[in-house]
């Protein structure tokens, strides 16, 4: 039986709230009745909270005692596909539905009446109205902006007049002052505004996407193209197509630091700024975006993963840019993978989803190979740019002392590039000065007091920092273990130390370090990136951050200091990730006319991943990687879930792990394997011990139900916590 769409006054409705209570609550529909999906204010104990009408009430309690919905909130009801999405996402990630609703209502003041403010528009000048040059400026400004309303200060500023001029005009009716809601629609976007001439390849790709989207049905497409091939230009055409058909589009980016650059690009293409949604957006803007998305007042949203939970009315397209990025996996709170959830969200609202990457995740590559997703390839770089030459530097033969990391071969190449006025980038994925600080007297490392992790020296800040919990302390002069003074020594390189070495080798060069911890704000980082892009630096030293999306036109040489770094460790994605990051870093070289070079320093030149990167046989790499995973029965061919137990008492945490390992009938019933309990690779973080179990099952088994049955009735004593991570990406 399908639920009715409207509940007249007094009928019982079942309401979901974002409060952590694991069930629906019955209320009576208010005097004006309410629609299915309506956002409502309901009493809960002494409080009033926001909820959503989820269906007909269950009627298990005495009708007379049931309270009434206080009122229907003045926003459009939640659409059925968003309710479906929350249910499916909750089931998939084994998260309470209330937590999902919390993600979908993360904007303050949704229950408040729309707040108003005074705006000014053109009016009619009365007979005998005295025109002055200041008054004329005001009228011109209003005309220039096509009748768009202004606040008093905006209008005064834009017209270059004082506010008293405007107030005087308003008294005579030459301009009109009106009350208007504070949350205003976003400026309309013009699909034809900054249209570019596409290359043949690009137009073919854009046309293919357009045809796929024209079906008006769900579809998923892998848009694969080398860095600089114009993937962004192509998917912006798909956005344009949405605009033309009056549909909304969502573009997900992996990194907030990339949004500013991207917003400018969207404005250049469509003539207006899109809505921007991520953790750095102010509360006022959040409320505006949430409401405008719900009222069709925002056509394009650029956002981080949580934008998937916005109340789109009419979503036609979701783009997941750099879809392979690990940052799409939310690693705390609700553990979900935004890439997978984007596909689900698109499927439920019959939208198209474009997964764009130069180095797709193996999951997506497999889905495209077996025809589940469409695949569109862009093979050449735009314009005259060509892909860089790549070669390895065999570090076994480099003969460097233990305190140097830049080989002579790399130095010579740097020299000739810098001499020609070109830029060089050195890549190492380690923040700080040195990853380890060792006492030469007693041989002990300095560790974090709260975590099983080595403290990392950050020389710029003159502190030691724990990369797990973020705690810092001044660099001591004596060893905390043996108290011998002045024998502490940094071991190994981080970006800061590499910068020191590069500066010593090239005393006249300007060296810049790009590392996420060195910039207080996204804006400062952005400024630095801009300065670098304009050529204000000879040598860029960077972490992972530089691998992503930035364009440095004058950069022609990339040196990867330690290509082996990512290959260590037991992560099943180690090979894939190394491949992705090295490919991406190398792709930074030679993005305009000059051909670039990428040099990879390695102790394992014969490692299959290193060879795959050098040979042009990318497809062969994915095939080999897919075969290996299939044989091992791991994702995407099998299913995995991580169970993370934590608590301040090590014995209790292990005890719980052992209890789970022994009592696992629900998992045996689906023939799942259980590994562990084992201490997590970083066994203690912030004073909490961490133990993991890993569950492996066949692809077709109902894993979530088994996991639920296995863990649902556990009583967690004290501060013990259990979290379930479906499709874990990180094994820390």
List interacting residues with Zn ion (CB under 5 A). 448, 450-451, 466, 468-469
- Shortest distance (Å) from residue 236 CB to ligand ADP: 8
- Binding of ligand ADP at residue 227 (CB under 6 A)? yes
Count Cβ neighbours within 10 Å for each residue of 597-609 and write b for 16 or more, e otherwise.
bbbbbbebbebbb
Q: Which secondary structure element, helix H or strand E, spans residue 93, and what is its range? A: helix 80-93
Q: Which DSSP symbol is given to 231?
A: H
Which of 233/625 has CB closer to ligand ADP? 233
Please name the residue that has the structure tokens 């060089």: 424
321 SS3 class: strand
- Among residues 644, 636, 633, 638, the alpha carbon closest in space to that of 725 is found at 644
Which of 209/451 has CB closer to Zn ion? 451
**DSSP state string for 405-454:** -S-HHHHHHHHHHHHTT-EEEEE-S--SSBSEEEETTT-PBPB-SSSSSB
Please name the residue that has the structure tokens 């397209």: 317
Which of 18/209 has CB closer to ligand ADP? 209
- Shortest distance (Å) from residue 548 CB to ligand ADP: 10
- Binding of ligand ADP at residue 596 (CB under 6 A)? no
333 SS3 class: coil
The one of Zn ion, ligand ADP, none whose footprint includes residue 202, by CB under 5 to 8 A per kind, is ligand ADP
Examine residue 636 and say whether the peptide bond preceding it is cis (omega within 30 degrees of 0): yes
- Binding of ligand ADP at residue 551 (CB under 6 A)? yes
The one of Zn ion, ligand ADP, none whose footprint includes residue 551, by CB under 5 to 8 A per kind, is ligand ADP
Dist CA 287 CA 292 (whole Å):
8
- Shortest distance (Å) from residue 264 CB to ligand ADP: 11
- Shortest distance (Å) from residue 647 CB to Zn ion: 17
- Shortest distance (Å) from residue 731 CB to Zn ion: 19
Which of 447/493 has CB closer to Zn ion? 447
The one of ligand ADP, Zn ion, none whose footprint includes residue 466, by CB under 5 to 8 A per kind, is Zn ion
Which of 266/418 has CB closer to ligand ADP? 266
The one of ligand ADP, Zn ion, none whose footprint includes residue 503, by CB under 5 to 8 A per kind, is none
- List 51, 57, 230, 676, residue binding ligand ADP (CB under 6 A): 230
Dist CA 503 CA 302 (whole Å):
39
User: What string of H, E and C letters represents the secondary structure of 147-171?
Assistant: CCCECHHHHHHHHCCCHHHHHHHHH
The one of Zn ion, ligand ADP, none whose footprint includes residue 521, by CB under 5 to 8 A per kind, is none
- Binding of ligand ADP at residue 231 (CB under 6 A)? yes
Residue nearest to Zn ion (CB): 466
- Shortest distance (Å) from residue 359 CB to ligand ADP: 12
Please name the residue that has the structure tokens 């022609």: 556
Please name the residue that has the structure tokens 């409502």: 40
Burial (Cβ within 10 Å: 0-12, 13-18, ≥19) of residue 344:
middle
Which of 224/467 has CB closer to Zn ion? 467
Which of 68/592 has CB closer to ligand ADP? 592
- List 14, 232, 361, 374, residue binding ligand ADP (CB under 6 A): 232
Question: What mask of x and - would describe binding to ligand ADP in positions 385 to 424, judged by CB under 6 A?
Answer: ----------------------------------------
- List 17, 98, 105, 229, residue binding ligand ADP (CB under 6 A): 229
How many C-beta neighbours within 10 Å does residue 371 have?
8
Which of 105/221 has CB closer to ligand ADP? 221
Which of 11/265 has CB closer to ligand ADP? 265
Which of 201/571 has CB closer to ligand ADP? 201
Which of 450/708 has CB closer to Zn ion? 450
Which of 85/382 has CB closer to ligand ADP? 382
- Binding of ligand ADP at residue 225 (CB under 6 A)? yes
The one of ligand ADP, Zn ion, none whose footprint includes residue 57, by CB under 5 to 8 A per kind, is none
Query: Nearest 5 degrees, angle CA 222-CA 223-CA 227?
Result: 135
- Among residues 51, 89, 75, 145, the alpha carbon closest in space to that of 346 is found at 89
Identify the bridge partners of residue 222 per DSSP, sorted by sequence position.
355, 375
Q: Which DSSP symbol is given to 269?
A: H
Cα torsion 574, 575, 577, 581: sign: positive
Which of 326/450 has CB closer to Zn ion? 450
- List 51, 55, 57, 228, residue binding ligand ADP (CB under 6 A): 228
- Shortest distance (Å) from residue 188 CB to ligand ADP: 23
Q: Which secondary structure element, helix H or strand E, spans residue 90, and what is its range? A: helix 80-93
- Shortest distance (Å) from residue 281 CB to ligand ADP: 24
- Binding of ligand ADP at residue 447 (CB under 6 A)? no
CB of 315 closer than 8 Å to CB of 298: no
- Shortest distance (Å) from residue 491 CB to Zn ion: 18
Which of 347/356 has CB closer to ligand ADP? 356
- Shortest distance (Å) from residue 186 CB to ligand ADP: 23
The one of ligand ADP, Zn ion, none whose footprint includes residue 232, by CB under 5 to 8 A per kind, is ligand ADP
The one of ligand ADP, Zn ion, none whose footprint includes residue 382, by CB under 5 to 8 A per kind, is ligand ADP
Cα torsion 459, 461, 462, 468: sign: negative
Taking the CA of residue 201 as centre, how many other CA atoms within 13 Å lie in the half-sphere pointing to its CB?
16
User: What string of H, E and C letters represents the secondary structure of 353-369?
Assistant: EEEEECCCCHHHHHHHH
Give the E-state strand segments of 313-416 in sequence order. Answer: 315-321, 352-357, 374-378, 389-394
- Shortest distance (Å) from residue 468 CB to ligand ADP: 33
Integer Rg of the chain from CA: 29
- Binding of ligand ADP at residue 521 (CB under 6 A)? no
CB of 378 closer than 8 Å to CB of 234: yes
Please name the residue that has the structure tokens 């570019």: 196
- List 19, 151, 158, 199, residue binding ligand ADP (CB under 6 A): 199
Please name the residue that has the structure tokens 């889905």: 367
Please name the residue that has the structure tokens 């969502």: 250
How many C-beta neighbours within 10 Å does residue 475 have?
18
Which of 438/466 has CB closer to Zn ion? 466
**DSSP state string for 167-219:** HHHHHHTSEEEEEEESSPPPPP--TTTTPPPPPHHHHHHHHHHHHHHHT-S-E
- Shortest distance (Å) from residue 480 CB to Zn ion: 14
- Binding of ligand ADP at residue 369 (CB under 6 A)? no
Tokens read off for 385: 């740019």
Taking the CA of residue 444 as centre, how many other CA atoms within 13 Å lie in the half-sphere pointing to its CB?
11
Which of 155/448 has CB closer to Zn ion? 448
Which of 230/435 has CB closer to ligand ADP? 230
The one of ligand ADP, Zn ion, none whose footprint includes residue 448, by CB under 5 to 8 A per kind, is Zn ion
- Binding of ligand ADP at residue 360 (CB under 6 A)? no
Q: At what angle do helices 152-159 and 133-144 cross, to 10 degrees?
A: 110
- Binding of ligand ADP at residue 325 (CB under 6 A)? no
- Binding of ligand ADP at residue 554 (CB under 6 A)? no
The one of Zn ion, ligand ADP, none whose footprint includes residue 228, by CB under 5 to 8 A per kind, is ligand ADP
Tokens read off for 17: 């709230």
- Shortest distance (Å) from residue 228 CB to ligand ADP: 4
The one of Zn ion, ligand ADP, none whose footprint includes residue 697, by CB under 5 to 8 A per kind, is none
Query: Could you report how far apart the first and last alpha carbons of the chain are, in Å?
Result: 46
- List 49, 198, 260, 624, residue binding ligand ADP (CB under 6 A): 198
Binding site for ligand ADP (CB under 6 A): 196-199, 202, 225, 227-233, 382, 551
């Amino acid at each position: 039986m399908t639920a009715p769409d409207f509940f007249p006054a007094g009928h019982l409705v079942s309401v979901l709230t974002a409060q952590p209570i694991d069930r629906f609550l019955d209320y009576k529909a208010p005097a004006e009745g309410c629609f299915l999906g309506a956002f409502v204010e309901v009493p809960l104990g002494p409080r009033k909270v926001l909820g959503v009408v989820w269906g007909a009430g269950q009627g298990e309690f005495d009708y007379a005692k049931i309270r009434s919905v206080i009122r229907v909130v003045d926003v459009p009801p939640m659409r059925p596909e968003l309710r479906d999405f929350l249910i499916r996402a909750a089931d998939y990630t084994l998260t309470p539905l209330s937590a999902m609703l919390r993600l979908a209502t993360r904007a303050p003041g949704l229950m408040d009446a729309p707040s108003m403010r005074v705006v000014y528009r053109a009016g009619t000048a009365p007979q005998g109205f005295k025109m002055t040059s200041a008054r004329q400026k005001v009228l011109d400004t209003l005309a220039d902006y096509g009748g768009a309303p202004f606040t008093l200060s905006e209008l005064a500023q834009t017209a270059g007049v004082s506010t008293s001029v405007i107030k005087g005009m308003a008294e005579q009716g030459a301009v009109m002052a009106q009350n208007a809601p504070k949350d205003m629609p976003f400026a309309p976007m013009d699909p034809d505004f900054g249209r570019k001439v596409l290359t043949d390849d690009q137009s073919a790709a854009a046309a293919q996407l357009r045809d796929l989207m024209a079906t008006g049905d769900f579809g998923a497409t892998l848009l694969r193209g080398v860095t600089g091939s114009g993937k962004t230009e192509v998917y912006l055409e798909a956005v344009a197509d949405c605009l033309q058909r009056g549909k909304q589009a969502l573009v997900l980016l992996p990194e907030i630091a990339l949004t500013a650059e991207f917003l400018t690009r969207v404005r250049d293409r469509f003539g207006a700024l899109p809505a921007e949604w991520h953790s750095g957006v102010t509360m006022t803007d959040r409320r505006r975006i949430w409401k405008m998305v719900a009222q069709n007042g925002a056509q394009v949203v650029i956002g981080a993963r949580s934008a998937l939970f916005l109340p789109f009315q009419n979503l036609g397209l979701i783009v997941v840019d750099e879809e392979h990025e690990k940052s799409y996996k939310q690693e705390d709170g609700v553990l979900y993978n935004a890439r997978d959830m984007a596909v689900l969200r698109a499927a439920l609202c019959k939208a198209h989803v474009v997964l764009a990457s130069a180095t797709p995740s193996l999951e997506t590559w497999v889905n495209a190979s077996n025809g589940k997703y469409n695949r569109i390839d862009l093979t050449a770089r735009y314009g005259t740019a060509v892909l860089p030459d790549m070669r390895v530097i065999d570090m076994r033969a480099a003969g460097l002392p233990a305190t140097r990391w830049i080989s002579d071969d790399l130095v010579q190449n740097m020299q000739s590039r810098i001499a020609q006025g070109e830029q060089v980038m050195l890549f190492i994925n380690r923040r700080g000065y040195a990853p380890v600080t060792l006492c030469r007297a007693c041989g002990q490392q300095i560790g974090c007091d709260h975590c099983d992790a080595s403290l990392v020296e950050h020389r710029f800040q003159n502190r030691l920092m724990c990369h797990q919990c973020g705690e810092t302390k001044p660099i001591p002069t004596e060893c905390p273990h043996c108290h011998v003074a002045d024998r502490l020594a940094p071991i190994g390189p981080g970006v800061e130390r590499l910068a020191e070495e590069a500066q010593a080798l090239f005393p006249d060069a300007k060296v810049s370090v790009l590392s996420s911890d060195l910039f207080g704000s996204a804006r400062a980082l952005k400024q630095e990136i801009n300065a670098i892009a304009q050529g204000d630096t000879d040598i860029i030293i960077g972490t992972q951050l530089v691998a992503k999306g930035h364009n440095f036109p004058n950069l022609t040489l990339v040196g990867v200091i330690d290509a082996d770094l990512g290959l260590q460790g037991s992560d099943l994605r180690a090979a894939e990730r190394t491949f992705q990051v090295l490919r991406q870093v190398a792709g930074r070289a030679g993005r305009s006319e000059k051909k670039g070079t990428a040099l990879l320093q390695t102790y394992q030149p014969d490692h299959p991943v290193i060879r795959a990167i050098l040979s042009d046989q990318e497809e062969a790499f994915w095939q080999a990687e897919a075969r290996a995973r299939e044989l091992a029965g791991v994702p995407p061919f099998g299913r995995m879930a991580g169970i993370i137990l934590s608590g301040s008492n090590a014995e209790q945490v292990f005890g719980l792990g052992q209890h789970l390992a022994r009592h696992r009938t629900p998992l045996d019933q689906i023939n799942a394997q259980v590994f562990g309990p084992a201490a997590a690779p970083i066994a203690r973080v912030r004073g909490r011990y961490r133990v993991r179990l890993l569950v492996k099952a066949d692809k077709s088994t109902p894993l979530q139900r088994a996991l639920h049955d296995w863990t649902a009735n556990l009583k967690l004593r004290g501060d013990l916590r259990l979290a379930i991570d479906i499709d874990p990406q990180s094994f820390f």
